[in-house]
């Protein structure tokens, strides 16, 4: 009777279980919700119609997933803590992949280039009608745009006092690009594309309304150009306007960074202060508005390709670091020579001079890169920490040391590149009795374990025979002259790094002249960027502006670095104010400076390297 009761209930579904006959136990479990309790009793009777068929043998494979349910039992094994290094590494990598957020990027940019492109931003250029903006800043921005290193969502807001319309200002900028752009001719299509992103904002730097209107305009540009609240303020103005502009930006909140994005940075040109006291005051005024990580003090020499390569040369090659110290190096010479005069900047140079214009920044920056210890990481603060240590290790000069180890000069009339030139006192806006130096040479030392006893000779001058910047590392002579019968005495080994022009590195060493006997001559191994890489090096301003947009402060000076540099130069200027004025002019244009500069080295048995 049990079998009879089972058949009527199973008649509607007899065809389906016929194929799944070998799974009698699992089948009733599935039918229980629909058939009720009697179904399990009837299940065995349903095997009889399908006893001779081979199909039931294959059926269990279909039902295996139901019996494979215990697979989750293996899950606890995965949750067990890793016991081997391999398990630990795989578990760590798995967590990192799971936690890594997916970046919101434009998929069309993928695979197009390896260079990092800055965030969308508004580039606010104060002093946009000035010489620096037209000669350096805007041509650099154009080259970055031409080489696709700027984001599509980018706009330039030019701020100046003169009345211009957007079109009139763009027309004037185009003329400057035709004259000063690094790549000629200027591509018209590229210029049209960039010009559509340039707007002019008129206003006086002392007027609070200028900054309020600027803030409102930047908000509008965020909506129309997609700049996302990112702003970089570039101060290409007279140094006297720096504090005023920074304060104006702070009053309307243009320094505030937003939590949902929108960074704010300020780039300040040199000179940063006129002396130590003014530099401290300016740092304080800037610090009231911007945090130190938002401030980028620019020194264009640090953006030059060979200066940047100096770090790679020193810390990317194992053969130089062991000999980069007082045991192997006799002295170091750093030369910055310019064939030009003051280029119509008489009023500016009268207040600045070579000591403030070059010694306080360019020369000391190059010295710190040569002498610094290897940083722990290749990050901005790590690099700048080591540079500051070097500058702090330079002892402050007494008045007697200044008189003995520092030479100043001023050029008179002469010839440069076969052309007659005026003397400094004959330049426009220069006092005919001026006591401003156009040349400075100094002997400095560094009191630390690496460089103790090694003199660093620095020199800079206007109206010298040629334009050249070079760092020369003079190694010590061999302890014993083995080849005494040589026709000439080979000079000590020399490593020269050419910053400009013809950027490259030269190593001088002795070699035997082919033939009978032993005649040793000096030979050189010369590397130049142009021939080695066949690429055009970017201008320093292109490098530094791009780094500022990317938020990389490695090549910019920090507040403490600026103040430490002034603490070296200030005593020199103060000592000069108490000394008898030299017989200016004391060197002719087209020569390598005053004779006293040669005596600075000659008294120690050395001489300036011929460049």
Of the chain, the end-to-end C-alpha distance in Å amounts to 119
Tokens of 171: 């027309």
Cα separation, 123 vs 472, whole angstroms: 38
Query: Exposed e or buried b for every residue in 348-374, given b needs 16+ CB within 10 A?
Result: ebbebbbbbbbbbbbbbbbbbbbbbee
Cα(518)–Cα(483) distance, rounded to whole angstroms? 7
Catalytic residues: 362
Q: How far, in Å, CA of 360 to CA of 49, rounded?
A: 104
Do the beta carbons of residue 521 and residue 513 sit within 8 Å? yes
CB 119 within 8 A of CB 228: yes
Cis peptide before 31 (omega within 30 of 0): no
Cα separation, 109 vs 97, whole angstroms = 23
> Would strands 414-416 and 419-421 be described as parallel, antiparallel, or unpaired?
antiparallel
Torsion of CA 131, 132, 136, 142, to 10 degrees: -80
Structure tokens at 529: 């960027």
Rounded Cα distance, 212 and 226, in Å: 20
Helix (H, G, I), strand (E, B) or coil at 393: coil
User: Angle at Cα 562 formed by Cα 365 and Cα 333, nearest 5°?
Assistant: 25
């Amino acid at each position: 009777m049990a079998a009879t009761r089972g058949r009527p209930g199973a008649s509607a579904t007899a065809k389906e279980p016929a194929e799944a006959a070998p799974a009698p136990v699992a089948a009733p479990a599935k039918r229980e919700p629909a058939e009720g309790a009697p179904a399990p009793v009837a299940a065995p009777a349903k095997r009889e119609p399908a006893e001779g068929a081979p199909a039931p043998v294959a059926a269990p494979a279909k039902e295996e997933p139901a019996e494979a349910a215990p697979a989750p039992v293996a899950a606890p094994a995965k949750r067990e803590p890793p016991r081997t290094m391999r398990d630990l590494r795989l578990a760590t990598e798995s967590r990192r992949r799971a936690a890594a957020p997916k970046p919101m990027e434009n998929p069309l940019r993928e695979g197009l280039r390896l260079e990092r492109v800055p965030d969308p931003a508004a580039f606010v250029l104060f002093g946009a009608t000035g010489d620096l903006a037209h000669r350096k800043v805007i041509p650099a921005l154009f080259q970055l745009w031409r080489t696709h290193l700027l984001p599509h969502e980018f706009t330039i807001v030019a701020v100046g006092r003169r009345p211009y319309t957007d079109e009139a200002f763009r027309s004037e900028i185009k003329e400057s690009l035709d004259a000063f752009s690094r790549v000629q001719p200027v591509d018209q299509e590229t210029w049209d594309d960039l010009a559509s992103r340039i707007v002019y904002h008129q206003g006086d730097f002392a007027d609070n309304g200028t900054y309020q209107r600027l803030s409102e305009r930047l908000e509008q540009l965020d909506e129309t150009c997609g700049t996302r609240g990112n702003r970089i303020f570039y101060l290409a103005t007279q140094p006297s306007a720096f504090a005023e502009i920074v304060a104006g930006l702070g009053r309307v909140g243009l320094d505030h960074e937003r939590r949902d994005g929108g960074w704010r940075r300020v780039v300040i040109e040199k000179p940063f202060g006129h002396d130590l006291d003014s530099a401290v005051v300016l740092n304080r005024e800037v610090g009231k508005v911007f945090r130190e990580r938002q401030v980028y003090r620019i020194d264009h020499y640090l953006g030059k390709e060979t200066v940047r390569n100096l770090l790679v040369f020193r810390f990317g090659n194992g053969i130089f670091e062991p000999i980069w110290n007082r045991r192997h190096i006799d002295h170091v010479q750093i030369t910055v020579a310019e064939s030009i005069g003051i280029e119509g900047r008489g009023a500016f140079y009268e207040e600045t001079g070579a000591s403030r214009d070059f010694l306080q920044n360019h020369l000391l920056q190059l010295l710190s890169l040569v002498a610094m210890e290897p940083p722990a990481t290749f990050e901005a603060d790590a690099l700048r920490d080591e540079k500051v240590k070097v500058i702090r290790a330079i002892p402050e000069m007494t008045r007697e040391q200044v008189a003995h180890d520092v030479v100043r000069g001023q050029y008179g009339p002469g010839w440069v590149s076969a052309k007659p030139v005026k003397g400094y006192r004959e330049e426009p806006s220069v006092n005919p009795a001026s006591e401003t130096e156009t040349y400075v040479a100094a002997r400095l030392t560094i009191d630390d374990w690496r460089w103790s006893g090694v003199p660093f000779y620095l020199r800079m001058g206007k109206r010298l025979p040629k334009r050249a910047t070079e760092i020369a590392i003079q190694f010590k002579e061999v302890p014993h002259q083995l080849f005494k019968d040589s026709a000439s005495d080979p000079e000590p080994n020399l490593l020269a790094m050419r910053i400009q022009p013809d950027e490259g590195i030269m190593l001088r060493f002795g070699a035997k002249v082919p033939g009978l006997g032993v005649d040793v001559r000096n030979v050189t191994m010369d590397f130049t960027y142009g021939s080695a890489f066949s690429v055009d090096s970017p201008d320093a301003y292109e490098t530094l502006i791009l780094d500022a947009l990317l938020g990389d402060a490695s090549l910019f000076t920090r507040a403490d670095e600026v103040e430490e540099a002034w603490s070296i130069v200030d005593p020199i200027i103060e000592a000069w104010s108490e000394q008898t004025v030299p017989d200016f002019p004391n060197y002719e244009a087209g020569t390598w400076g005053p004779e006293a500069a040669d005596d600075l080295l000659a008294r120690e048995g050395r001489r300036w390297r011929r460049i």
